Amino acid sequence: MGTEGARVLLERAGRLTLQTGNLLNWGCLRKKCPATPSEEVRDCIQKTLTEWSSKIGQDQNQETPEVLECTVAQAVEKINPEERDELKVSAKLFIVGSNSSSIRDAVDLACSALGVAQLDSVIIAPPPVEDGINLSLEYLQPYWKELENLVQNKKIVAIGTSDLDKTMLEQLYLWAQVKPSSNQVNLASCCVMPPDLTAFAKECDIQLLTHNDPKELLCEASFQEALQESIQNVKANEWIPLWLLRYSVIVKS
C-alpha cells in the first residue's frame, strides 16, 4: 500500500486539488446509496483519496509539487471537442473558506479537467458568514465581481445564485453588471415558491430552480475525517477545504 508515500507528499505540499470525477464510472459508490448530498461528497472524497494513495510509491526522495493533484484517471473523462456544441456544462460552486479568489481557481480546474474552454453556467452558493450576521449585498459583491470577470473573459457564459430571497436577489440584480440568470431555492425551506420571488424572477427573466443541498455541504471536520480514514498517520488537522465545485454535463437535445 502507498499510504506512507501519500502521507509524505501531503506533508511537503502546500495545496491539494482533489478531483473525484464521476465515481459511478468506476463503481465505488454503486453498493451504497448516500442519504444526503453531504454524505455523498464525503464518500467521494474518501474513496478518491484511498484509491489515489494506494498507487503512490514510497520513495522518500521523490519531488513534491507545491500543488499536489489527487485524482483517479478512470473516473475523469474529458469532453470530445466534436461533441461540445451538443452538451451543456453547468456547475455549482461552494466557497468553504471566505476567499473570492478561489472562484477563478475552481473554474480553471473544472475547465482543465473536462477539456473545455468555458462553462455554460456557474451557480454560486452564498459564502459562509459568521453566526448572527445576515448575508448582505456588500458581502456578496467581491464574489460576484469575480464571476463577472470570468464572464467577460469568456470562461463562463451565464452566472446564477442560490438561496437568495426576493430582497437580496433584487439588490444583486440592480447592482450587478452581469445579471444573475438563475436562483436556486432550497426544497427544505419551502414547498411552494414565495410569490414575491416568483413575480420578481418572472419580471427580470431569472430562472428559478430547486435544490436539496445543505447550508454547509462540506465542513472542515468532515473533510479531515475523510483524509484521516484514507491515509494513515496523516496530519489531517493541517488541511482546510477552501472550495467545492460540482459539475454536470447534459446532452442538450
> Are 242 and 103 contacting, i.e. CB atoms less than 8 angstroms apart?
no
248 membership: H or E segment, kind and range: strand 243-251
Quote the pLDDT of residue 1. Answer: 44
CB 180 within 8 A of CB 173: yes
189-231 residue pLDDT tens: 666 788 999 999 999 999 999 998 988 888 889 999 999 998 8
Question: Average pLDDT over the chain, rounded to whole?
Answer: 87
DSSP string over 40-107? HHHHHHHHHHHHHHHT----TTS---SEEEEE-GGG--PPPGGGGGGEEEEEEEEESSS-TTHHHHHH
Residue type, 169: L
pLDDT number for residue 63: 65
pLDDT at 183 over 80: yes
Q: At residue 73, does pLDDT exceed 80?
A: no
Give dist(CA 59, CA 210) in Å, integer.
Answer: 48
Residue pLDDT, tens place only, 106-162: 999 999 999 999 999 999 998 877 777 788 999 999 999 999 999 999 999 999 999
What share of the chain in percent tops pLDDT 70?
A: 90
Q: Which domains does the chain have, with CATH numbers?
A: 1-77+219-238 (no CATH), 78-217 (3.20.20.100)
Question: What does pTM read for this prediction?
Answer: 0.89
Q: For residue 116, what are the CA distances in angstroms to 16, 128, 130, 244?
A: 22, 29, 36, 19
The model's confidence at residue 163, banded by pLDDT at 50, 70 and 90, is very high
Evaluate whether 164 touches 183 at the Cβ level (below 8 Å).
yes
CB 147 within 8 Å of CB 133: no
Is-contact 52 226, C-beta < 8 A?
A: no
